[in-house]
Structure formats: structure tokens, C-alpha cells
Chain A
Amino acid sequence: MDNKIPSIPKRIGSVKFGLISPREIRKMSVTAVIAADTYDDDGYPIDMGLMDLRLGVIDPGLKCKTCSSRAGECPGHFGHIELVAPVIHVGFNKMIRKILRAICPKCGRLSLEPANKEEYLRQLAKLKEIGHLPDSLISDIFKEAAKAKTCPYCNDADGNPTKKTVIKFEKPVEYIEDGEKLTPSEIRDRFENIPDEDVRVFGMDPDNARPEWMILTVLPVPPVTVRPSITLESGQRSEDDLTHKLVDIIRINQRFQENRDAGAPQLIIEDLWELLQYHITTFFDNEVSGVPPARHRSGRPLKTLSQRLKGKEGRFRGSLSGKRVNFSARTVVSPDPNLSINEVGVPFPIARQMTIPIKVVSRNIDLMRMYVARGTGVHPGANYVIREDGRRIKVTDVNCGELSEKLGFGWTVERQLADGDIVLFNRQPSLHKMSIMAHYIKVLPNKTFRLNPCVCPPYNADFDGDEMNMHVLQTEESRAEAKILMLVQENILSPRFGGAIIGGIHDHISGLFLLTRNENFISKNGALELLRKADIRKLPEPAGRHGNGEPYWNGKQIFSQILPKGLELEFPAKVCFQCEVCKKGDCEYDSYVIIKDGELLKGTIDENAIGAFKGIVLDKVVKEYGTTIGAKFIDDVTRLAIRGVMRTGLSFGIADEDVPNEAKLEISDAMAKAEDEVHNLIQAYDANELESLPGRTLAETIEMLIMQKLGKARDQAGQIAGNHLGLENSAVIMAKSGARGSMLNLTQMAACVGQQAVRGERIRRGYSDRTLPHFKKDDLAADAHGFVKASYKSGLNPTEYFFHAIGGREGLVDTAVRTSQSGYLQRRLVNALQDLEVQYDGSVRETRGVVVQFKYGEDGIDSTKSDYSKPEAVHRIVRSVTGKEVD
């Protein structure tokens, strides 16, 4: 920190890209590198070796011979290797191929008529003016030029126009013309012949990028600072992969030189040339297809230049756009329904580690003194103080008293986290904006982050071992921004569908369902117990009195206590049977919810009322009363619901799947009937009496019909089981109220698992013409193709079990494939859309200011602020003010 490199602020006017020329490489080089070695026996860098002191220094104590600064300050300097023969740069293979095909082998001119060239130049200029990429036009130009069979400009020895032969490219770096291999020297010679005007036609700027520069004659040697060596514990030096590769290159280069000077046979020269090409190829990219990767002595492939840049852990994605951060914490999460949705429980040890910097001013100096005086041991204490001169001092038990006294204005105290501080909370994968939200801290004992279970859906978290990250905000501005934009309560409504994404889950739904269903007789004690945490001052008038004069309340009244006053709402509940004519308030199943002036008059509260994703009551409360009251409502719901579910109790065991004997008989009857029907179908099919459905073959038809029959049979079995289990069964309660599970799950447990499918069809794979040797060949019957008659409770027979495993495997593979695919899709979408911005005039524009949408979403509506684009809210206001309905 003390010896910072003095930085001069500069504005970047423009950035120019081009190819680096051999001249430029030599110009920037501080030394030619000749020795294929690093250090001599004394451990001193060899002169003109790969660790030459002019290339920069990494060992402390040494001085750079070029800039005479020490390790850390010296940025490093390039050297160079003079290659004995030219070598192709792998990265430009595509371009080299295109150019080779487009030019005349003799005169090097682009094989296009002069008029065409002019036209293309004009179009290129036009594209540049508009600011569009010229890629597609340039590929057209190359295609057009490659089509020419002869050169329009020069003649061969016989006086005919020069013929062009097709040049074949062979991986990795071979160009073959007429069966003869082109050497890099020949290619370079041809490129040198291309006149500057022609270079411009295929979109290159000859001042900054001559085509022959794509063939290397001199190789830049990266500075030592780019490839630092590590000293192992044993005192041995271990060199960077790049250094290893450079050693190889120099060695081969030398051998090549010696052999050529000695006049070695052509065969050997060619072999060495190829070897040099290989080493330089792998120096740039060690994952070129067709080239065996260069390996370390241990057998590990070397990490060369492009491996450093590419991929998730490469320089761009790993080091530049993604970095590790300070002021963050990570641990397992667990639930705590007594916390507000806006809060997060932070374990003590974390709160003591993490700090918030506070500037000492006259208003807070006493408080800050107190924090510092406490030291690090006692909870809200201070870990560091920063003096006016920027010096950081660690607060210890020894110096805390002294520091506290010395504390003055302009100092900064790094105070430990305390209740009420705002932090960011995140769970990966961060797929939408609700994956990172701001929470207020509640410091709690033990070692997990605690959160209200209602915020699980936006994070997609559960408590089977999930870990989450916390980031402590360090500036006043960031805290303000987090509070206004990112606080959980500001994100209750999801912009995806305009409804609540934070709301009751599992027990909250079954709890309120049990509470508000039927006439519950709740004593005064019971009522107070339920509403204990809800900040209710007065109980309403009792619903009635028992014989002995004791008052009682019902569940609907209790729930009404946490509803905001004035709320008016009517909607069908989840349990609605969808009768043909809805009787609304008179529904015999109590499944039409009516709320008047904040009082639940009719209906049962379930998923449609307070569930995450669906909750209509939630949605209305947040939209009409604001986020603060919305958040309070959700807090009250969680607390009331948890007490509600504990009042009745809700458990589920194996005995809850028991169906009476008569039901079992009914089910097996239904199954037998279905099997008979399938049998009849098969007979009709075998006798060729079956009519095929339009657009299907006979075989497809029978498959479809059988699937239909068996599907119906399973549903029927489920119905029978459901009827016999009754509405008091806890699984039925959970399924009907939407808390967890479905009637299908229940059917599979209690009645019949049903058809197992692979790719939406009955299982057909296995042996020839049959799935298993237990069946006859070409047997179309239900059990031979994966229909599982049994229930999970009764147990599957061996063949059923096998088919079930086949179907289950497909499900697993599907999810694995889907997550990876959707992750990549998301990445591409984000990359494409990240710079679009909604402007104040409602239009969506990209960075150049080009309009993408003239109105955001075509209607310019923020879905979280709109009432599903329906005029209900206006109608309600008119109704409440004038007392009249709006037509």
C-alpha cells in the first residue's frame, strides 16, 4: 500500500486493433532470446536466456535491467526469438485459407474485376459509416473471389491467363495445392505479393495488418512477469508452463539452424520444420483439433496462451468479469418463521467478523468510542480503526482503551454488524433479480443463516443443506439503494407475471386451511395463543357462546384480524369443484372466498389466497396497501399459520395410505375391466378389424387406444381411493389445499402407479419383439409394456419394478440435460440483452441509442404496478365512493 505506482489519469480516445508486424516485435523487444535455459548453476538468470534480467524481475531484491525498478513495480518487457523459418500462426488459419483461395498464386492479386473491387470498397465504406459489422459482406467477397478459375490480371508462360487451382486445407496447419504441400515460406511469399489496394478490398487495413504478418518469422517472448516461476518448499524452482514451451521452441529452433547450416537432407529439414510448427502451435493453443496436446512431464497437458484466456476460469470470465469479493459470508440456511421476511438471522461468529465503516463525526463520536472501547470480543464492537492519514490499526484487547481515547473526527471505525444493518443476501444460481435481495440483520446464536420460509420461492431455496451468501454494504449510498430497490418487501411482486412470488408455502397453506375451514370452536385462550405474535390489541365479538356461557370464536374471525381494514375481495378458492353454475357465497363446499371490509365472511383460505405464485389476497394487499403493509401481512400469515397448523396437528404416515378392503376390490375390478378392454382391443387388432385413426398407422392407433384406456383406468383407481380416504385424510388436505403434493401422487401411493413411459410411449425396448423374456413375443398386453398395476404401498412385482426403473431413469436424465441446456440458454440471452435499457419515454434502446422497442413490452406497463391490465381497481374505487356499480 505504501509504494503505489504513481498513476497518471488518462482518457482513452480510441482503441485500434491490428496484426503485429515482425518489425514491431523486434522494436519492442529488449533482447533476443537465444539460450534455451533459465538459470545457471548459481541460480542466477542466464544472459539472453528465458529469465534474462532485461525481461523483467520477479524475485525480490533484484533490479530490472531495462527499467531499473524492483519486482512488483517492473511491468515486464518483451523479448523475441528469431525463427529460422517462417511458421503459421494457428489462430489465423481460417483467414489464411480464405486469402490463399482468393488470390492469384503468381501475381498475388485478388481475383476480382476492377469494377467489382470498387463496388465492394464502396459498400465497405458504407457499412463502416452506418456502424454495422462488415463480416457477412467480407465473406461474400472471399466467396466471389474464390470462384474465379483464372487470374484476371496476369498470364502464365504460354500467354494464357494464370490458372488457379483449388487449395485444400488439412488440419491442423497444412495447405495442399495440386497434391503439393505449400510451405509457410511459399504462403508468405504469395501474401507479400498482394498489393495494398487489394488488401483493403477484403476488409483489412494494410497499414495495421498485412496478410503476411499472419505467418510468423519472429516470435515475441512474453515478459517474465507473465510467466513467473515458483520456488517450491524444497528450494527447487518450478517454471511456468509458458516457459517450458518457450524452452522447447528455442531448442528446436537451434537444432533447425544447425542442421540447415550443416546442409542436412531435405527430409530432416522438413521434419524439424514441422516440429517447430508444432511447438509454436501449442504455444498459442494447446487444444487445437488434430494436434496432440503438449504435455508436462507428469502427463498433464500444458496451459498455454489461449487456455489462459478461454472458458469459465479463463482471464475474461474468471478474472475480469467475475472476481472474489471481500465483506461476504457463506453458510447453511435454516428456517425461522418468527423472523420477518425482511430479516435474515446472522450467526454470532459472522456478525463479529464482518464490519461496516463509519466516519467519526461530532454526532457519533461517543458511540464510536464505545464500540472501540469494547474491542473485538464483546458483540457490537469494532475490529479496525482507520486514522486520518489512512493508516489501518487492528483493534485488540490490549490497545482498545488507548485507541478509544485517541479517536478523533475524520477517523473511520470499522464497526461490527448489529441488528438493523442492511445486507445483500443471495443464493446461486442467480437467475432473476429476486436471487439477490436486501435484508435487515438479526444477530442470532448458532451457526446458520436463518430466513423466513416465505422467501424460499424467489431464492428457490430449501433447507436440505443449501448454502447462501451474504454481502455487507460498505457505503451509505449503496445502503440507501439496497433499501429502496432491493429490500425483500419491494420484491414481493414478480415482474414476470405481476403476482406475488413471496408468500405462504407448505405448512402456511395447510395451517390456514385447517383454521378457516368449517366451524372451529376456538376458546379465548386458543384465540390469544393463535394471535399472540400478530400485534392484535382486541379480540372481535365472539361468534357465539357454549352452553356454559363460555365464548368461542371461529377460524375465519381469527384470520380476519390480520387482514387490513377495508379490503374487499371475492374469488373461488383452490378447492373449488368448478361446478357448472357457481353458487358463489352459497357454495356448499365453502370454496368461494368473500372478504368484506377486511373480514373473511365466506370461504376457505388456501393456495389461491396466500400461496406464493398464486396468492390473490397477497397480491391485492400489496398492490392496494403498499409493500410495508404487504410485508407485515406476510409476516402475520406465517406466524398465524404455523400456530394454526400446530393447533390441529398435521401428520402423514404409511397408515394414511390405507384404503378399506372394499375399495381395494373396487380398484382391482376396475383394473380387471381395463385389462379386458385392452385384451379386446388387441384381439380386434390381430383380427384386422380395427379402424385406424386419421393420420396414424394401425400400430400407432392401437398404442394410443391402449394408453388411453390404461390412463383412464388409473384415474378411476385414484378416484376410488380418493373417495374412500375422505377429506379428513392429511394427504388429501394437503393436495386439495395446494400445500404439497397432488391427487396424482396420492393415487400412485394408494391405488395404482400407472403406465411407465419412455419418450411419451409405452416401453418397447429390450429383447427382440418383447421387453423381457417373461413375455411372449409381440405381446401387446398392458403388463408387457410397462403398466404398473400395483400401488407404491402394496409394492411392485419384479417386472413392474424394472419398468418403473426405466421410466424413472428417463426422468433423471431429462432433468440433468434440461438444467445444463437452460443454463446455457440463459447465458446467451443475458449476453444479448444486458445493455438494453428502458428510457424515461418508455422506449427500449441499446447503447448506441437505437430503438429496440418503441414501448416497453409493447404496452409500456410495469406488470407489478398493474392490476393484470383489468379495470377492477377503478371499479372498486367507484363502488366504494359512490356505492354504485360501474357497467
Chain B
Amino acid sequence: MRKFRLLDHNSVPKHEIMQEDEIKVLLNTYQIDKERLPKIKGIKKSVEKVGKKVTKKVGKKISDKGVDPVVIELGAKIGDVIKITRISQTAGESLYYRLVIE
């Protein structure tokens, strides 16, 4: 059992999974498709299907390697876009977006 949520840590900026309509607005403002967003590593689809128990037993080595801890914490799926609200030296608060990939 973890004693605290990862996202509660002081140094971890706020992460949220974006809604479809929000993503549309975002992609529209920058005139890009999803693939042009910065990436963040997520859990593989094939492993997801098998379910959590199997994941732990067999796929642990493959599935968790390099996966961003925040993605696991949020339960984000491949193809989701995560909105990150960072504290910025220059702008006070700045927004950053990442596409979850395999």
C-alpha cells in the first residue's frame, strides 16, 4: 500500500485526463493532429486487455517498463491526452499537453 497519492506530492504538477471536446479545441488552436503533441509513455494495450492480475504476474516486466508513473496513477489509456498544469518561473502557471502512447 502506498501511503500517499503520487499526485499529492509537492513536486508533481497537476495532471488531468482531457475530455474529447477539450482535446478538439486544443488541436484546433494549434492546427495540429494528436501525433504532433508531446508524448508520454502509457501501458500497452495488449497487456491492458489481460487484466490487472495477469499483468502483475507475467507482463510486469514488459508492461511497466518506462511507463510514466502518473499515467498509471491516473489510469489513462493509450490515445488519451493529459493536461499538465505546471508552476512556471516566467508565467506563474503554464499548460502543457501530452499524448499517451504505447
Residues of A at the B interface (CB closer than 8 Å) are 119, 126, 130, 841, 843, 845, 848-852, 854-855, 857-861, 869
Q: Judge whether A859 and B35 touch: CB under 8 Å.
A: no
Q: Which residue of A lies closest to B101 (CB)?
A: A130
Q: Judge whether B94 and A852 touch: CB under 8 Å.
A: no
Q: Judge whether B94 and A851 touch: CB under 8 Å.
A: no
B16 adjacent to chain A (CB < 8 Å): no
Q: Judge whether B88 and A859 touch: CB under 8 Å.
A: yes
Q: Which residue of B lies closest to A856 (CB)?
A: B90
Indicate whether A850 sits within 8 Å of B30 (C-beta atoms), given known contacts A855-B94, A858-B88. no
Q: Judge whether A858 and B36 touch: CB under 8 Å.
A: no
In the complex, 26 of the A-B residue pairs with CB atoms within 8 angstroms, ordered by the A residue number, are A126-B102, A130-B101, A841-B30, A843-B30, A845-B36, A849-B32, A850-B35, A850-B36, A850-B37, A851-B30, A851-B36, A852-B38, A854-B94, A854-B95, A854-B97, A855-B94, A857-B91, A858-B86, A858-B88, A858-B89, A858-B90, A859-B88, A859-B90, A859-B91, A859-B94, A869-B90
Say which residue of B38, B88, B89 sits within 8 Å of A851 (CB atoms). Answer: B38
Q: Tell me the bound Cα distance from A858 to B29 in angstroms.
A: 16
Name the B residues within 8 Å of A852 (CB-CB).
Answer: 38
Name the B residues within 8 Å of A850 (CB-CB).
Answer: 35-38
Q: Which residues of B47-102 are within 8 A (CB) of A?
A: 86, 88-91, 94-97, 101-102
Measured CB to CB, the closest approach of chain B to A477, in angstroms, equals 30
Q: Judge whether A851 and B90 touch: CB under 8 Å.
A: no
Name the A residues within 8 Å of B38 (CB-CB).
Answer: 850-852
Name the A residues within 8 Å of B86 (CB-CB).
Answer: 858
Q: Which residue of B lies closest to A860 (CB)?
A: B91
Q: Tell me the bound Cα distance from A42 to B35 in angstroms.
A: 68
Mostly, the A contact residues are loop
Residues of B at the A interface (CB closer than 8 Å) are 29-32, 35-38, 46, 86, 88-91, 94-97, 101-102
Indicate whether A854 sits within 8 Å of B91 (C-beta atoms), given known contacts A126-B102, A130-B35, A849-B36. no
Q: Tell me the bound Cα distance from A841 to B88 in angstroms.
A: 20
Name the B residues within 8 Å of A126 (CB-CB).
Answer: 102
Name the B residues within 8 Å of A841 (CB-CB).
Answer: 29-31
Indicate whether A857 sits within 8 Å of B90 (C-beta atoms), given known contacts A130-B35, A130-B101, A850-B38. yes
Measured CB to CB, the closest approach of chain A to B13, in angstroms, equals 12
Q: Tell me the bound Cα distance from A849 to B37 in angstroms.
A: 9
Indicate whether A854 sits within 8 Å of B101 (C-beta atoms), given known contacts A849-B36, A859-B91, A861-B90. no
Q: Tell me the bound Cα distance from A848 to B38 in angstroms.
A: 12
Name the A residues within 8 Å of B30 (CB-CB).
Answer: 841, 843, 851, 854
Number of A-B residue pairs at CB separation under 8 A: 44
Name the A residues within 8 Å of B96 (CB-CB).
Answer: 854
Name the B residues within 8 Å of A860 (CB-CB).
Answer: 91
Q: Which residue of B lies closest to A850 (CB)?
A: B36
Query: Could you list 18 further interchain pairs (A-B, Cβ under 8 angstroms) beyond the known A858-B89, A859-B88?
Result: A126-B102, A130-B35, A841-B29, A841-B30, A848-B36, A850-B36, A851-B37, A851-B38, A854-B94, A854-B96, A854-B97, A855-B91, A857-B90, A857-B91, A858-B90, A859-B90, A859-B91, A859-B94
Q: Which residue of B lies closest to A129 (CB)?
A: B35
Measured CB to CB, the closest approach of chain A to B97, in angstroms, equals 7
A841, A852, A858: most-surrounded residue (chain B CB, <10 A): A858
Q: Tell me the bound Cα distance from A869 to B92 in angstroms.
A: 12
Q: Tell me the bound Cα distance from A849 to B35 in angstroms.
A: 9
Measured CB to CB, the closest approach of chain B to A431, in angstroms, equals 23
Name the B residues within 8 Å of A859 (CB-CB).
Answer: 88, 90-91, 94
Q: Tell me the bound Cα distance from A841 to B37 in angstroms.
A: 15
Measured CB to CB, the closest approach of chain A to B24, in angstroms, equals 16
Measured CB to CB, the closest approach of chain B to A842, in angstroms, equals 10
Name the A residues within 8 Å of B89 (CB-CB).
Answer: 858
Name the B residues within 8 Å of A869 (CB-CB).
Answer: 90
Q: Tell me the bound Cα distance from A852 to B37 in angstroms.
A: 8
Q: Judge whether B35 and A851 touch: CB under 8 Å.
A: no
Name the B residues within 8 Å of A857 (CB-CB).
Answer: 90-91
Say which residue of B94, B97, B102 sits within 8 Å of A858 (CB atoms). Answer: B94
Name the A residues within 8 Å of B102 (CB-CB).
Answer: 126
Q: Tell me the bound Cα distance from A845 to B96 in angstroms.
A: 13
Q: Tell me the bound Cα distance from A646 to B25 in angstroms.
A: 66
Name the B residues within 8 Å of A848 (CB-CB).
Answer: 36
Q: Tell me the bound Cα distance from A426 to B7 in angstroms.
A: 50
Q: Tell me the bound Cα distance from A790 to B101 in angstroms.
A: 67
Measured CB to CB, the closest approach of chain B to A826, in angstroms, equals 22
Name the A residues within 8 Å of B90 (CB-CB).
Answer: 857-859, 861, 869
Measured CB to CB, the closest approach of chain B to A838, in angstroms, equals 13
Measured CB to CB, the closest approach of chain B to A833, in angstroms, equals 15
Measured CB to CB, the closest approach of chain A to B100, in angstroms, equals 13
Q: Tell me the bound Cα distance from A858 to B87 in angstroms.
A: 10
Q: Tell me the bound Cα distance from A858 to B89 in angstroms.
A: 9
Q: Tell me the bound Cα distance from A855 to B91 in angstroms.
A: 10
Q: Which residue of B lies closest to A859 (CB)?
A: B91
Q: Tell me the bound Cα distance from A860 to B102 in angstroms.
A: 31
Q: Tell me the bound Cα distance from A845 to B35 in angstroms.
A: 13
Q: Tell me the bound Cα distance from A31 to B101 in angstroms.
A: 53
Q: Which residue of A lies closest to B37 (CB)?
A: A851
Name the B residues within 8 Å of A854 (CB-CB).
Answer: 30, 94-97
Q: Tell me the bound Cα distance from A857 to B97 in angstroms.
A: 15
Q: Judge whether B101 and A851 touch: CB under 8 Å.
A: no
Q: Tell me the bound Cα distance from A130 to B79 in angstroms.
A: 13
Q: Tell me the bound Cα distance from A185 to B47 in angstroms.
A: 43
Measured CB to CB, the closest approach of chain B to A112, in angstroms, equals 14
Q: Tell me the bound Cα distance from A855 to B36 in angstroms.
A: 15
Measured CB to CB, the closest approach of chain A to B64, in angstroms, equals 14
Measured CB to CB, the closest approach of chain B to A827, in angstroms, equals 25
Q: Which residue of B lies closest to A839 (CB)?
A: B30
Q: Tell me the bound Cα distance from A858 to B36 in angstroms.
A: 18
Q: Tell me the bound Cα distance from A852 to B38 in angstroms.
A: 7
Name the B residues within 8 Å of A849 (CB-CB).
Answer: 32, 36
B29, B35, B37: most-surrounded residue (chain A CB, <10 A): B35
Name the A residues within 8 Å of B46 (CB-CB).
Answer: 119
Q: Which residue of A lies closest to B97 (CB)?
A: A854
Name the A residues within 8 Å of B97 (CB-CB).
Answer: 854
Q: Tell me the bound Cα distance from A126 to B45 in angstroms.
A: 13
Q: Which residue of B lies closest to A869 (CB)?
A: B90
Name the B residues within 8 Å of A845 (CB-CB).
Answer: 36
Measured CB to CB, the closest approach of chain B to A855, in angstroms, equals 7
B36, B37, B46, B86: most-surrounded residue (chain A CB, <10 A): B36
The 7 nearest A-B residue pairs measured at CB: A859-B91, A858-B94, A859-B90, A858-B88, A858-B91, A858-B90, A850-B36
Q: Which residue of B lies closest to A845 (CB)?
A: B36
Q: Tell me the bound Cα distance from A852 to B39 in angstroms.
A: 10
Name the A residues within 8 Å of B91 (CB-CB).
Answer: 855, 857-860
Measured CB to CB, the closest approach of chain A to B63, in angstroms, equals 13
Measured CB to CB, the closest approach of chain A to B7, in angstroms, equals 21
Name the B residues within 8 Å of A855 (CB-CB).
Answer: 91, 94
Q: Which residue of B lies closest to A855 (CB)?
A: B94
Q: Tell me the bound Cα distance from A845 to B32 in angstroms.
A: 11
Q: Tell me the bound Cα distance from A851 to B27 in angstroms.
A: 11
Name the A residues within 8 Å of B36 (CB-CB).
Answer: 845, 848-851
Q: Tell me the bound Cα distance from A869 to B97 in angstroms.
A: 25
Name the A residues within 8 Å of B37 (CB-CB).
Answer: 850-851
Q: Tell me the bound Cα distance from A857 to B102 in angstroms.
A: 29
Measured CB to CB, the closest approach of chain A to B17, in angstroms, equals 18
Q: Tell me the bound Cα distance from A852 to B94 in angstroms.
A: 13
Q: Tell me the bound Cα distance from A852 to B95 in angstroms.
A: 12
Measured CB to CB, the closest approach of chain B to A737, in angstroms, equals 32
Indicate whether A851 sits within 8 Å of B32 (C-beta atoms), given known contacts A857-B90, A858-B88, A861-B90. yes
Q: Which residue of B lies closest to A848 (CB)?
A: B36
Measured CB to CB, the closest approach of chain A to B30, in angstroms, equals 6
Name the A residues within 8 Å of B88 (CB-CB).
Answer: 858-859
Q: Tell me the bound Cα distance from A126 to B101 in angstroms.
A: 11
Q: Tell me the bound Cα distance from A804 to B36 in angstroms.
A: 59
Measured CB to CB, the closest approach of chain B to A140, in angstroms, equals 9
Q: Tell me the bound Cα distance from A848 to B35 in angstroms.
A: 10
Name the A residues within 8 Å of B95 (CB-CB).
Answer: 854
